[in-house]
Amino acid sequence: MRPLFITFEGTEGGGKSTQIALLAARLRATGRAVRVLREPGGTPIGEEIRHTLKHSLDNAAMTAEAELLLMNASRAQLVREVIRPALAAGETVLCDRFYDSTTAYQGYGRELDLPTVQRIIDFAVGETRPDLTLLLHVPLEVSEARRRLRQEQLQLLQEPPHPSAHAKLPFDEPLRDRMEEADRSFFERVDRGFAAIAAAEPERVRWIDATQSVPAVQAAVWRWVEPLLS
């Protein structure tokens, strides 16, 4: 079977995790070996960087330049340690975010120089590029509502049943996410960044309306993936 590298992109609250899990299950049902990854992260080094970038209580002073370099340090490790070996072994790799997120978040969102951002991305990934990128888009107000709901749910999970009890989350993500603390203008720029990326590479980047029902989005995802399986 032909190895495939498929990435999922979009602003917060677009349902990427749900759709990646659904696609992975469907591909495995066809007999494919599937590797599911996330960025930043996906390796022991990358997960340490992820914590520093998103969840550490000591990251408030992080500059946009440091953020850009850390994102791509994690990416460089993931490409060489996991993605390239998996593709060489004939696996299908599904990744929750890849370099398009850096262009959108650090380039457009943080307003860093786009040619510089691209040079750093190119150094991190080399010739490793996605065969297909699925951009799950929701309007900004939908993204904000879904992020608020997610935070409320996490807070409920963290509330101990008794003041003396210690709550434990059923997953490894801390409550705080530094990337979600940015203001509305930041996410407006990110949204414009994703639109620009989709317009520049329409053959690779497929825009999907993620305000639809989960089954409808799943069908749209499959419509773009299925032709690559031949």
Q: What is the pLDDT of residues 107-126, one digit of tens each?
A: 999 999 999 999 999 999 99
- Rg, the chain, Cα only: 18
pLDDT at position 162? 45
The SS3 call for residue 96 is strand
Residue for token pair 């989960």: 214
pLDDT at position 170? 40
Average per-residue pLDDT for the chain: 90
Measured CA to CA, the distance from residue 203 to residue 135 in angstroms comes to 12
CB of 79 closer than 8 Å to CB of 125: yes
Architecture, CATH, for domain 4-229: 3-Layer(aba) Sandwich (3.40)
Phi/psi region, residue 213 (left: phi>0; alpha: psi -120 to 50; beta: rest), is: beta
Global confidence as pTM: 0.88
Q: What is the pLDDT of residues 6-30, one digit of tens each?
A: 999 998 888 999 999 999 999 999 9
The band of 141, judged by pLDDT with boundaries at 50, 70 and 90, is: confident
The band of 142, judged by pLDDT with boundaries at 50, 70 and 90, is: confident
pLDDT at position 155? 56
Q: Where are the alpha helices (DSSP H) in 82-211?
A: 84-88, 99-102, 114-125, 140-158, 184-200
Q: What is the pLDDT of residues 146-175, one digit of tens each?
A: 666 666 555 555 455 444 443 443 445 556
Question: Does the structure show a pLDDT above 60 at 58?
Answer: yes
Question: Does the structure show a pLDDT above 70 at 5?
Answer: yes
Q: Where are the beta strands (DSSP E) in 10-54?
A: 34-38
The band of 176, judged by pLDDT with boundaries at 50, 70 and 90, is: confident
Q: What are phi and psi of 162, to 5 degrees?
A: -145, 145
Sheet arrangement for strand 4-9: 34-38, 92-96, 4-9, 132-137, 205-209
